[in-house]
Amino acid sequence: MALKTMLKFSRGFRYQSLARTTQSFSTHDQDEGGWNRTRTKSSGNFTQVAGAAVAGVAGFCLYSYLNEPAVSAATKEETTLQAGEVKEGLPFYSLDEVRAHDDNEKRIWVTYKQGVYDITDFIPKHPGGGEKILMAAGASVDPFWASYGVHKNADILKMLETYRIGNLSEEDSKVSLHNVVDPYDSDPRRHPALQPRSLKPYNAETPLKILADNFFTPNDLFFVRNHLPVPEIDLASYEIEIEGVGVKSMKLNLEQLKKFPKYTVTSTVQCSGNRRSEMTKVKPVKGLDWGQAAIGNATWTGVRLRDVLLAAGLKDDQPGVEHVQFEGLDTDPSMHPYGASIPIEKAMDPKGDVLLAFEMNGEPLTRDHGYPVRVIVPGVTGARNVKWLGKVIVSGKESDSHWQQNDYKGFSPSTDWDTVDFSSAPAIQELPVISAICDPVQGDKVKPVDGKIPLRGYAWSGGGRKIVRVDVTWDQGKTWGVAKLEQESNKHPYHWGWTLWTLEVPVPPNAKKLEVWVKAVDSTYNTQPEGFANIWNLRGVLSNAYHRVTIDINTGKK
Amino acid sequence: MALKTMLKFSRGFRYQSLARTTQSFSTHDQDEGGWNRTRTKSSGNFTQVAGAAVAGVAGFCLYSYLNEPAVSAATKEETTLQAGEVKEGLPFYSLDEVRAHDDNEKRIWVTYKQGVYDITDFIPKHPGGGEKILMAAGASVDPFWASYGVHKNADILKMLETYRIGNLSEEDSKVSLHNVVDPYDSDPRRHPALQPRSLKPYNAETPLKILADNFFTPNDLFFVRNHLPVPEIDLASYEIEIEGVGVKSMKLNLEQLKKFPKYTVTSTVQCSGNRRSEMTKVKPVKGLDWGQAAIGNATWTGVRLRDVLLAAGLKDDQPGVEHVQFEGLDTDPSMHPYGASIPIEKAMDPKGDVLLAFEMNGEPLTRDHGYPVRVIVPGVTGARNVKWLGKVIVSGKESDSHWQQNDYKGFSPSTDWDTVDFSSAPAIQELPVISAICDPVQGDKVKPVDGKIPLRGYAWSGGGRKIVRVDVTWDQGKTWGVAKLEQESNKHPYHWGWTLWTLEVPVPPNAKKLEVWVKAVDSTYNTQPEGFANIWNLRGVLSNAYHRVTIDINTGKK
């Protein structure tokens, strides 16, 4: 039940309470019952208050995801340290004075470290929705930012400082933050070869150069996409709850889950933001600065969601059922879980292969990949492959989580943060066709052998659409070579795994550089767009234009 | 049983027999029994000879499809008439001399009208495969070309003349062609508004400007894609044969077919070659010169193929079954039917909506659209929506028809007719996402109203993938407007029908021309490639790059 993580969040949360709503929150028992009450918002005045606080907390949290920095948090430490420090020449305010500014009429103030900020004018620009941020009014943002280390990057802090109006009084600033516990303290250790894109939450990708070396990506080198701290789960109390329309509510522990027929499926998992770093060069986007390796391929072993839902009494074509929602046991400071949903047709498709998986490449899941059980939704974007599965809800509606409703959607290149209407676009499910050159990587210096350079990479398409061809050009499209493909062959109508490809490309005599492009074609003969400008979108998702790499040629001459 | 058409072909066929293989073919009874024997190649010496002849005839026929002219046959009448005329200075040969040249060692000769040609060197270049053309060796091509009027276009005749070696003797050229009957004589009358792309076989598209006026394309204006003469079918003897692996052979007349549950499905049907005329501008391709209207949308009423196959005893996941083949009653001169197949998963998908359809937009099918019964395979290219359905074969293999094996496939832009290996690419089934501007059309002169011009068009994607956005730009991609969509709304997981769209685009003051582009995005967030150069393929299929139209602006000034 992720109890330890919960308690850490609760402590941070209590600090927030002390600063603003002591009375309400001092009654919030930091035990499992309290956690349950907050999540279910079942009844009573306490719950109401907690529910309201939840909205605000969630608002601030969500802000952090929408503003995932395009640079690693760790790289701009200096700027980070300057923000929130005392600024000469600005007035000093007490916590009470700050607290008095908690609505639009009185202006909305917040504190960060010793800085006081009037964020009233920022609220309408808040990507997660203006109303959500309001619960942070008149108080400190520190405990949230302790949870979301990703906030502490130069861009966000610089933006915050533009709203600076004063300093917190010396006395009140002595209210120490030492009781704010870092909920990421218990995150697992990771392999040092992983390339982090953010540390808290931890997001990292496989070194690109080795990505195409293995048809099955090694577990410890598989990209990690966490939205929240990794929950600490005690197998002894672990259960998956099944509930909703057309099913009899039930709870399954791991042992009970494993009694269903066991299946193993090869499936590629890819983040919607893979290759975002290329799109952001056209015009900045908000999100983790993923290279080309926020993707991996593995075998997943578990039981079929369909079998579990049938056992819970769900019928095919049950009226009123349109989606299956998943909740993770990873939670934000308000105890809101990570959530996502998939269409019922995918969930119940006998050939859809949606698994509640407990093994990855034949080993039990690691904590970063969802131990003890995660959902695998083959052909569908990683965000719906919910890790640390806590709950399955059969419903007429999509998940109302931020990640389903207000993130992971595509928009026109002319849609910006002022005009975006997240309700106008469908949540990403199946992903479009994509490919990348993994080796050599941009800027590698390579010596041709017999006038040729070998390239290798991957190609993949969502929805089980098999890659039927990979085209590579070394002369800006005048000539296209057809790559040799490595892929699983089977009679299954869907092809969930990726395709690795190789091709030797010719190097013109005396060339000092060679620019190579790759594009893939899938079984529907969809192919990739040529460039990023016309598929640009404000979140930098679906970044599947041709991958173009320039190689330095080692001519062997001085 | 298409008897009339068959007899016409038989007569042409007999002429061929007279010229070369009188003995074999004079025993070929031109009745329904003979037709059956030819098709089934069941046994005996006669059948063997017929079978061999079939291969050759088919070879020549196929050549005609692969070389569908990019210009209408009717436009170059003059060149057509010159080919095959007596050429001064060349030797004269008798039919016996021609007949003696029927293999590679002796060289391979054919005649066309009074021309004699040595086509030995052309055989390896024959797109339909060298071995197939050999049965025409030592004889006249005239009867085939009477059947395939499309041959009589300048490009093919010019090519033929490059192989000219002599003239047919005056005496033998008196062997009249008057007994060759035109098998297209009994084709139906068509609406004069249709825009023909070839006359024999008849292929025509809807006038583009009116295509987006109707969500359901009127039957008489719906594009027509015929590969062969339209069969004349007598309902009294009409039956569909069901046979193959895992089914009990059975025959269903229309009355029996209609006893199955009746379904109506909205489905767009599109030719794989739609918009070929844009791709061919990059570099010539072989195929009918389709504009943007080889596509239409209709309701189709019939019974589910799944229901029929279940009634014939087929089980879901029947071992050994991978495809369902269809044969039309439209046949080539050798009585080979048009054929295609679809994967068993599509055929048996309870939500796949594959119909044996007898109504289109609520009316019985017209002859051009497959009367009395055609297959509708929603989301799949038109070529698999077999018309005039004669036979359904459940099989472990794809259809071995030319159109499944050696046509309707995609290749790399660097693959040409010398290097193409049709077995290396999958037969097109689901089509990629596409869109077009229908009104205004290229070159229209339009007067802006309030500085704006309204555009309208269509967008569609194969596989039931719904269109989720249509983007239009009027400034080469600097600004993209999001079009208003008209589409059916339903709870079905697949969206087979097209989407119509409209958008008013701004015209800069004093602009004399405005170039507008459109691209669509489907529910997998696949979108269209930007240009044709990098998706070019030798057959000009899958031509789904951005549609770009230049409009002349009526400024109201002289």
Q: Which of A240, A329, A286, A291 is nearest to A39 (CA)?
A: A329
Q: What is the pLDDT of residue B388?
A: 98
* Phi–psi pair at B37, nearest 5 degrees: -65, -45
Q: Which residues in chain B have their CB less than 8 angstroms from residue A463's CB?
A: 463, 524
Question: Which residue is catalytic, options B93, B117, B408, B458?
Answer: B408
Nearest to B384 by CA among B272, B257, B537: B272
Tens digits of per-residue pLDDT, B62-101? 333 333 433 343 344 444 557 888 999 999 998 889 988 9
List, as own/partner pairs, every contact residues A212-218 make where C-beta atoms lie below 8 angstroms and the sequence separation is at least 24, other chains included: A212/A438, A212/A439, A212/A456, A212/A457, A212/A458, A212/A500, A213/A439, A215/A297, A215/A486, A215/A497, A215/A500, A216/A266, A216/A297, A216/A298, A216/A299, A216/A361, A217/A296, A217/A297, A217/A298, A218/A361
The SS3 call for residue B231 is: coil
> Do you find a cis peptide bond into B432, omega within 30 degrees of 0?
no
Nearest CA in chain B to A427: B523
Average pLDDT, whole number, for chain B?
A: 84
Q: Does the CB of B433 have a partner CB in chain A at under 8 Å?
A: yes
At position B97, the amino acid (one-letter code) is E
* Beta carbons of B115 and B161 less than 8 angstroms apart: yes
Chain A residues within 8 A of B535 when measuring between CB atoms: 527
Task: Measure B170 CA to nearest chain A CA, in Å.
Answer: 51
pLDDT in tens, A428-467: 999 999 999 999 999 899 999 999 999 999 999 999 999 9
Least confident segment among A509-513, B250-254, B354-358, B478-482? A509-513
State residue B545's pLDDT score: 98
Q: H or E stretch including B506?
A: strand B499-506
CA distance B526 to chain A (A): 5
* pLDDT for position B128: 55
Residue B349 touches chain A, beta carbons under 8 Å:
no
Across the range A330-356, mean pLDDT stands at 94
B-proximal residues of A, 263-282, CB under 8 Å: none
Q: What is the pLDDT of residue A514?
A: 97
- What is the pLDDT averaged over residues A363-391? 98
Q: Which chain A residues contact residue B411 at CB under 8 A?
A: 469
Name the residue with tokens 């025959």.
B251
Collect all residues of chain B within an 8 Å Cβ-Cβ radius of residue A493.
343, 345
Q: What percent of chain B has pLDDT over 70?
A: 80
| B410 touching A (Cβ < 8 Å) | yes
Q: Indicate the SS3 state at residue B481.
A: strand
Note the pLDDT of residue B154: 79
- Please enumerate in sequence order all residues whose Cβ is within 8 A of that of A196, keeping only pairs 6 or more positions apart, or say none: A72, A74, A202, A203, A204
Task: Give the integer Cα–Cα distance in Å for B532 and A301.
Answer: 43
- Contact (Cβ atoms closer than 8 angstroms) between residue B554 and residue B446: yes
A357 CA: distance to closest CA in chain B (Å):
24
| Given B225, B304, B374, B539, the catalytic residue | B225
What amino acid positions of A are annotated as catalytic residues?
A: 126, 151, 225, 271, 408
Single out the residue of A536, A538, A276 nearest to residue A416, CA to CA.
A538
Give the tens place of pLDDT for each residue, A89-148: 999 998 889 888 988 888 999 888 889 999 998 887 766 555 556 667 788 777 666 555
- Cβ <8 Å between B530 and A526: no
Q: How confident is the model at residue B149 (pLDDT cuts 50, 70, 90)?
A: low
Give the gyration radius of chain A's Cα atoms: 25
- Compute the Cα dihedral for A315, A320, A322, A326 and give only its sign: negative
- Test A524 with B462 for CB contact under 8 angstroms: yes
Chain A nearest-CA residue for B542: A525
The answer, for B542 touching chain A at a CB cutoff of 8 Å, is yes
Q: In which residue are the tokens 């024997």 written?
A: B37
What is the C-alpha separation between B547 and B558, in angstroms, rounded?
A: 30
Contact A527 B529 (CB under 8 A): yes
**Side-chain-facing half-sphere of B100: CA atoms under 13 Å:** 5
Q: Are strands A445-446 and A547-553 parallel, antiparallel or unpaired?
A: parallel
- Give the pLDDT score at B158: 86
- Measured between CB atoms, which of B414, B428, B482 is closest to A412? B482
Q: What is the rounded average pLDDT of the residues B18-46? A: 28
Look at B524 and A482 and tell me if their CB atoms are within 8 Å. no
CB contact under 8 A, B410 and A531: no
Q: Which of B517, B524, B539, B542 to mutate to test the interface with A (most CBs of A within 10 A)?
A: B524
CA gap B143, B122 in Å, rounded: 20
For the segment A21-49, the average pLDDT, to the nearest whole number, is 27
Amino acid at A312: A
- Contact list, B519 vs chain A (CB under 8 Å): 534
Tell me how many residue pairs between chain A and chain B have CB atoms under 8 A apart.
114
Question: DSSP state, B380?
Answer: B
Residue pair A308/A223 in contact by the 8 Å Cβ criterion: no
Best residue in A321, A345, A412, A428 to probe B by mutation, most B CBs within 10 Å? A412
Q: How far apart are CA B521 and CA A428, in angstroms?
A: 12
**Chain A residues inside the 8 Å CB shell of B480:** 412-414, 534
A299 CB burial (10 A radius; 0-12, 13-18, 19+): middle
- Cα–Cα dist A60/B188, whole Å: 69
Q: Is A48 on the interface with B (CB under 8 A)?
A: no
Among candidates A464, A426, A321, A267, which has minimal Cα distance to B346?
A464
Q: How confident is the model at residue B152 (pLDDT cuts 50, 70, 90)?
A: low
Q: Is the pLDDT of residue B448 over 60?
A: yes
Structure tokens at A138: 């008149």
| Between residues B347 and B23, the one the model is more confident about | B347
Residue A22: enclosing H or E segment and its boundaries? Answer: helix A22-26
pLDDT for residue A37 is more than 60: no
User: What is the C-alpha separation between A129 and A63, in angstroms, rounded?
Assistant: 9
Q: Is A320 left (phi over 0), alpha (psi -120 to 50) or beta?
A: left
Give the whole-angstrom CA distance, residue A384 versus residue B493: 18
For strand B355-360 and strand B374-376, is the pairing parallel, antiparallel, or unpaired? antiparallel
Distance CA B467, CA A518 (A): 26
Binary contact (B410, A469; C-beta < 8 A): yes
d(CA A501, CA B89) in angstroms, rounded, equals 58
Residues of B in contact with A479 (CB under 8 A): 414
Q: Write down how long chain B is.
A: 558
Query: In the annotation, is B151 catalytic?
Result: yes
Enter the ipTM: 0.79
Q: What is the distance in angstroms between the Cα of A173 and the nearest Cα belonging to chain B?
A: 49
Contacts by A192-197 with C-beta closer than 8 Å and gap 24+? A193/A221, A194/A221, A194/A223, A194/A224, A195/A291, A195/A293, A196/A72, A196/A74, A197/A72, A197/A288, A197/A289, A197/A290
CA dist A462 and A433 (Å) reads 7
Question: Who among A322, A526, A530 is closest to B526 (CB)?
Answer: A526
Higher pLDDT, B363 or A40: B363
pLDDT higher than threshold 90 for residue B7: no
Which residues on B lie below 8 Å from A530 (Cβ)? Answer: 529-531, 534
Residue A469: list chain B partners with CB under 8 A: 410-412, 425
A410 pLDDT more than 70: yes
Any CB–CB contact under 8 A between A521 and chain B? yes
Q: With beta carbons under 8 A apart, name residues in chain A contacting B433.
A: 526
Hey, are the CB atoms on A410 and B535 less than 8 Å from each other?
no
Residue among B28, B101, B151, B276 flagged as catalytic? B151
Q: How far apart are CA A166 and CA A176, in angstroms?
A: 19
Question: Closest approach of chain B CAs to the CA of A514, in angstroms?
Answer: 19
Q: What is the DSSP string of A361-426?
A: TTEEPPGGGTTT-EEE-TTB-GGGS-SSEEEEEEESS---SHHHHSSSB---TT--TTT--GGGSP
Phi then psi for residue B140, to 5 deg, are -95, 145
- pLDDT reading at A165 higher than 90: yes
* Per-residue pLDDT tens digits for A39-96: 222 232 222 222 223 333 333 333 333 334 333 434 444 445 578 889 999 999 988 8
For residue B345, the chain A residues in CB contact (below 8 A) are 351, 493
Q: What pLDDT score was predicted for residue A133?
A: 63
Query: Chain A closest CA to B335's CA: distance in Å?
Result: 32
With a pLDDT cut of 90, the percent of chain B lying above it is 68
Pairing status of strand A355-360 against strand A337-343 = unpaired
Question: B548: alpha, beta or left, given left = phi > 0 and alpha = psi -120 to 50?
Answer: beta
B531 part of contact set with chain A, CB < 8 Å: yes
Given a contact cutoff of 8 angstroms between Cβ atoms, the answer to whether B54 and B10 are in contact is no
Question: Confidence class of residue A558 from pLDDT cuts 50, 70 and 90?
Answer: low
How far is A555 from A552, CA to CA, in rounded Å? 9
Confirm or reject contact between A52 and chain B (CB < 8 A): no
Inform me whether the pLDDT recorded for A279 exceeds 50. Answer: yes
Give the distance from residue B198's alpha carbon to the nearest chain A alpha carbon, in angstroms. 26
Active site residue B492: no
CA distance B377 to B385: 6
Looking at residue A95, its pLDDT comes to 85
Nearest-angstrom CA–CA distance, B384 and B270: 10
